[in-house]
Structure 1
Amino acid sequence: MSYPGSPVSNEQSIAAVRLAATNALNNALEFAHAQFEIQEQRNAIVTTVCDAARAGDDSVRQAAFEGLVKIAEHYYDKLHERIVDIYALTENAIRNDIEPVAMQAIEFWSTVAEEEITLIYEADAAREAGTVPDRRSKQFVIKALPYMYQPIFDSLKKQEDDPLEDSSWNVATAAGACLELLAQAAPDSILELVRPFIQRNIPDKANWRSREAAILAFGSVLEGPPIEHVKALVREAVGILVETLQQDPSLAVKDTTAWTLARVVSVDRDTTLAHLPALVNCLRGTLATAESPVLAAHICFAIHNLAVRFSEECEEETGSLREHIEALLQSLLQAADRDDASEGYLRITAYEAINALFRSVSKDGIPFVLRCVPHLLEKLVATLGGLPRALNEDEVSDMLELQGLLCGTLAVASHRLNSTQISPYADSMMQAYLQAFRMNGSAAAIEEALLAVGALAEAAGKEFNRYMPHFMPTLQHALSNIAHHQICAIAVSVVAELCRALGKELFAYSDNIVFLLLEALKSKSLVRSVKPPILSCFGDIAMAVKGNFENYLDQVMNCMKQAAESSVQVNVLPDDFDTQEWLLLLRESIFEAYIGIINGLRDEGKQELLTPHREWIVGFSEWIVQGAAQGGAFPDEMIKPIAGVMGDLVDAVPSTKEHVARNAWLANLVDRGSQSTDERTKETAKWAWATIFQ
């Protein structure tokens, strides 16, 4: 026991004070930009942190390395002054220190790598634009790799005794994540370091840690290095990976192998295609016998990536997967039904893989999708019946999760089916979705059910109108659900799908819909991200109800004018990219709405109703083109919508042509658009030129 005044007590007291001081400094680092601009103060701060990183107390060292991470994050450009000292500190910590300190040392290099990856992207963007980047990478990662790679590789072998049971962040997982970033920050040099480590450790039959570390290293460096070098490595390894997943006695090794195969199929189509039958058989067989839900989830992830890979290819190559679709779907459905499917994200990953397969199948594979619908619908009905009988919160949570997943998968299936194919199941689907709404379950389940209704409407077309009296109360409630903005946003997207499905038959319900959309726009509590979709939705409604949009024209146009004027008043900082992106989306949505309204009214000869609004539309377009919104910069993304609106306006109301054609800004805009590399922008600009200026 220690007593006041004893040496141990004094040491503990000193360490406690130093720890508190180090933590206080860490908390201040983010706000020390002024101090870091002064060399004397900067040196003092970094020296203090580095000295603390050598302290005898474990907690002080850990806090000091946390400080170094913050310095790397906020003051990367100043690191070069002390980087040699930091090399030595981090290398020693990773090799020799306790796990929490070693993890922070690894995190330092992950942070540096992230910064240098960003700088690589910025340099590439500047090169494409013919400009000079504001900052340049100091290539700390490339210079450090010859000294740092071995400690990182050694850390990969420091797994937990049962990695699948203990999913917490540890030194091995931190090293794997760091290696992924290093591969992107130093793409030209990482493979020559990793390859010998892989070749030396994969054959180590006596040590599962070595095998697992080697496969993790392989999977971690597939993104970043030149693709031809990656493909060469994949061709060497894919057969070994398949055999390892099937035969390795270690569950941890098989799990990492499944994750690595998921990455392999994403990066190398040719090798995947060459090994497709063996790969599919391996994934199906190991999924059926997977001892752990975590392993099964990673196998499902590999199947998901396989489906995504083929969905990106042409119909002929997708056909290579077609003969395996039905068997893969059966395997995934069985995995989703496992008793332990709620563990390790297995159920979620299985349904995501099913959705990817549904999306990837070619037209002649649609019957496979259709055959799954009764099974999925039966399971959804079972969850709805099971919810009232759930015994505890865990059971309720599981049921609601499954309900949402089934609604989501039925939505994906509906998107692939036509009205004839979906007709036999439409009544049962809609009945189940309405029951899900009545049960008022989790927000996630309601969101998925709304999406499923929208997909059913798209597939059923005008036949969906018979469900509208039953669905309208739910839709109205969702549109007015400002507190749950995601539900409101999805409801807006459902309205757009109803517009396309019902056409003029939507007019029976559009009064309430338009009123609720206008109310949502006026709400100060609705998050701003929902407002652009609402604005563009007015264009969808106009295209659906045609001349009947006259009933809402003045209200909607005034509301859009207010939204446009408010966007002018927003003060956007140069580095506030979120607000810049939102303003761009808002203005694009306004012009999309104008296009829908102009064409909807013109289709029934009511385009003259636009006359009171022409001057504002033209004036707002000019204001954006002149660059006032972006401090002198006009975004390319606005060329197509503005050219489209101007062309549609002149086409619909020819008396506008003489006034519009005199605007030099418009001629310059259309000329710029006709030279665009985007084909849709170029096509719209050429059409607008012919309509307005010829």
Structure 2
Amino acid sequence: MAQQGASPLLKQGTLEALEYVFEEFVGLKQNEIDDVLDAVIRAMKRAEQNYEVRLAAVKALQNVLKFANFANEDCRNRLMTAICDAAKSDEGEEKKIKQGAFSCLTAIAPENYMALEPYTETILSLTTEALEEGEETVALQCIEFWSTICGEVIKLREQKSVLLTRSTADCCFIEKPLCSLVPVLLKTLLNQEGDADALNIFTSATTCLGLVARTIRDAIVPLAIQLIVRNIEMADWRSRKAATSAVGVILEGPSVEKLAPVVGLLIDRMEDPNMEVRGTAVCTLGRVFELLHSPARAKRFFTDEDFCRVMAVLSKCGKDVPEVSEEFCGAIYFLARGYQSISSKVDHSKKKFSSQLSPFLSGVIDVLLSASELDKEAPFGLPASTSTYKALIELVRVSNIEDYEAAIAIRVLMPRIMRRLNTALDAEAISPSDKSNKYNLQALQCDVLHAIIQKLARSLEAEMVKESAQFVLLLFCRVLTCDCSTARDKAALAIGALAHTVGPKFVAYMSILLQYYNVKLFSPIYIEVIGNIFHVLGDEILPYCDYMMDVLYKGLSKQRLKPHILACFGEIALAIGEDFEEYLQDVMTKLLTQDIMPMFLMRIRLTTVISLDREYSRLTLAYCEV
């Protein structure tokens, strides 16, 4: 590289060799690395007429940088001057050099971003210029640099939070350039929305803006809202959609107080004449619920007045076209989850907070069920039904069953889901995709009924479950025969919940369940539920015990079921006490013949299973020794 008159081809080859050599650790002294850096920097300068040489130098520098001494001010200045100069290359093929320069900046950021303070204004200016030009490869690298910077600041804060130290060296210098970057990123988002050719830039700018929000926190809100409001009122629906979507990008980081004004913006857009804008607004509101909705907070995102208006407009969106109604289901799901996540440490009970939903529960359930029927062309109503039933499950789980409105809403919901499950069971599915959708729908409906049974079991409404037990059990048993393991497991779990709710009187329905009790239908979850049913029924199950034990013996031939059946033997012994003596000899024989006694002993604490006389205890210990 130092030879006078060295050919461009020789320089290029040398620089390419350096690029590969410095990919791995090189055992050079610092002065030798400095010599390499000098050579590379000389080749990057505009005095070098050959484009290929300059490009090879920029690529080589990306690998050499990790060995540079950034603590040395002279070295740092020479490097940053060369990189920033290369980032100004913008003619023809030289844009690749510009891209390489920003790649160098991104390589510097993780370890040495604190040293970049004197150069942030220059880098911001170069970034702004590159984003305005819209050259994809360069713009992506610019955005990647700032995303890396934000990621490092966030990581530093998290580390200091764990160590419980004050975040004084928090890179405060970065806030000013990031504030200047916010309008640039927002313009990029708003200009690229819906442009298929610029999808990568749009995605990267969205990610970067989210990281900036987490970095500068409250400072982003006035900067972003100003531009969002301007675009959200434009005649072009694409501008309104992009602005509404941008609200969702800045939600992580700022405080609830600062973000509260966006509620009005979102509600207004949920009544927008354009379908896509409405859908985006509801989706964004769902993200608000996901990130910021917690009724236990001292500072709440919604006032009571806001909440009533939000629920009214949301319910209207649930009756909209499928594209909007599906977003409504997602929003309700995250709204309900906010009540589920309330900490038990707060002064007020979870029930008191979830009572806020009670007046709206019946209406929201009606809209959710209607939303799952909007897309008539979709087989078995999927995927709309998926989001519908997930939302229903969360609503049931968090509702305060002690409230009259909530109790009535859930009481009415149960037969409606039962009818739907019966319809799904009878529906004919021809293609493999139809069958898959049918089974997924059955699994979701079993999940909803499971949640309802558990909720009603803890209230005065439990009697309704007991009255419907036979019909519900028949539905669940029919699901047990389907070809989908997920649906079968969901049905088995629901049967377990039904047995717990009905109690010892569930024995009246054992003749129904035993028709669907065979090795072919067994699964680990089904076997666990059988053990739970033994506990529920206790002595009441004895008339059926011989048959049930015989089927379990047959199940031992299935390798995957062995450990679960062994655990079930232990549960049965605990449930029926001394009456298990009748089966102990057979159980031991089966285990010894199959050479799985060690597994049995690991699964069951035989000496504590049942309380019998000493003679029987000696018998048990003798088998243990064997």
Task: Report the TM-score, using the length of structure 2 for normalisation.
Answer: 0.66
Deviations 1:272-316 (A, max 9, x none): 53323222211111221x23x232121122222232334446323
Indicate whether 1:339 and 2:365 are aligned. Answer: no
Identity of aligned residues (%): 24
Number of positions where the alignment pairs a residue of Structure 1 with one of Structure 2: 522
Alignment of 1:57-136 (within 5 A): 76-77=110-111, 87=123, 92-99=129-136, 102-103=139-140, 105-106=142-143, 109-110=146-147, 113-114=150-151, 116-127=153-164
Distance 1:65 1:477 in 2: 63
In structure 2, what is the Cα distance between the partners aligned to 1:251 and 1:143? Answer: 38
The superposition leaves residues 98-148 of structure 1 with CA deviations (integer Å, 9 ceiling, x where unpaired) of: 456645654554465456545533432232xx9x99xx9768974751343
- Cα distance in 1 for residues equivalent to 2:567 and 2:432: 40
Question: Structure 1 residues 233, 60: CA separation in 2 closer, same or farther (over 3 Å shift)?
Answer: same
Q: Is the 8 A contact 2:136 2:198 kept in 1?
A: no
1:421–1:194 distance in 2 versus 1, CA, 3 Å:
same
The residue that corresponds to 2:388 in the other structure is 350
Check 1:329–1:139 CA distance in 2 against 1; reply closer, same or farther (3 A cut). Answer: same
1:501 paired to 2:522: no
Q: Is 1:435 aligned with 2:451?
A: no
Change (3 A) 1:400 1:604: farther
- Structure 2 residue corresponding to 1:214, chosen from 243, 254, 264: 243
Of residues 488, 503, 510, the one that matches 1:446 is 488
Task: Give the C-alpha shift of residue 258 in structure 1.
Answer: 0.9
Instruction: Flag the 1:117–1:82 CA change in 2: closer, same or farther, 3 A.
Output: closer
Residues 467 and 208 of structure 1: is their aligned pair in 2 closer, same or farther, counting only changes over 3 Å?
same
Match of 1:315 among 348, 351, 354: 351
1:471 is aligned, of 505, 508, 516, to 516
Runs of 5+ consecutive residues of structure 1 not aligned to the other structure: 1-16, 480-487, 524-530, 563-589, 614-694
1:113 and 1:185 in contact (8 A); partners too: yes
Q: Secondary structure at the match of 1:158?
A: helix
TM alignment of 1:270-669, pairs within 5 A: 270=300, 271-288=302-319, 290-291=320-321, 293-311=322-340, 312=342, 314-340=350-376, 342=378, 345-364=383-402, 365-388=406-429, 390=430, 392-418=431-457, 420-440=463-483, 442-462=484-504, 463=506, 465-473=510-518, 477-479=521-523, 488=524, 490-491=525-526, 494-495=529-530, 497-498=532-533, 500-503=535-538, 505=541, 509=548, 543-546=574-577, 551=584, 558-559=598-599, 601=610
**Native 8 Å contact 2:289 2:338 kept in 1:** yes
1:45–1:286 distance in 2 versus 1, CA, 3 Å? same
SS of aligned partner of 1:182: helix
Gaps in structure 2 of 5+ consecutive residues = 1-11, 38-58, 66-82, 343-348
Q: Is the 8 A contact 2:61 2:104 kept in 1?
A: no
Q: 1:119 to 1:153 in 2, by over 3 A?
A: same
- Note the alpha carbon deviations across 1:316-364, whole angstroms, 9 max, x for none: 3322321211111000000011125848943211111111111122224
Q: Would the alpha carbon gap of residues 259 and 538 (structure 1) be closer, same or farther in structure 2, given more than 3 Å must change?
A: farther
Instruction: After TM superposition, list the pairs within 5 Å mapping 1:209-248 onto structure 2.
Output: 209-225=238-254, 229-234=255-260, 236-246=261-271, 248=272
Matches within 5 A, 1:42-57: 44=60, 46=62
- Alpha-carbon spacing, 1:417–1:61, altered in 2? closer, same or farther (3 Å): farther
Q: State the secondary structure of the residue aligned to 2:251.
A: coil
- Cα 1:111–1:254 change in 2 (3 A) is farther
**Based on CA coordinates, which of the two structures has the bigger radius of gyration?**
2
Displacement after TM superposition at 1:152 (Å): 1.6
Name the SS for the 2:388 alignment partner.
Answer: helix
Q: 2: CA distance between counterparts of 1:70 and 1:471? A: 62
For 2:386, give the aligned amino acid. Answer: I
Farther-moved stretch of structure 1 (359-368 vs 393-402) = 393-402
Counterpart residue identity of residue 434, structure 2: E
Contact 2:531 2:571 in 1 (8 A): yes
Q: Is the 8 A contact 1:212 1:256 kept in 2?
A: yes
Post-superposition Cα deviations, 1:359-389, rounded to whole Å, max 9, x if no partner, equal 122224233223222222222222222234x
Query: 1:184 corresponds to which residue?
Result: 214
Amino acid in structure 1 at the alignment position of 2:325: A
Distance 2:209 2:312 in 1: 30
RMSD: 5.2
- Larger CA deviation: 335-344 vs 137-146: 137-146
1: distance between equivalents of 2:27 and 2:411?
63
**Contact between 2:106 and 2:144, CA under 8 Å: does it hold in 1?**
no
Asked if residue 155 in structure 1 is aligned to residue 188 in structure 2, the reply is yes
Distance 1:277 1:52, change over 3 A: closer
In the aligned structure 2, how far is the partner of 1:54 from the partner of 1:214?
33
Q: Residue 215 of structure 1 contacts residue 256 of structure 1 at CA under 8 Å; is this kept in 2? A: yes
Q: Counterpart in 1 of 2:79?
A: none
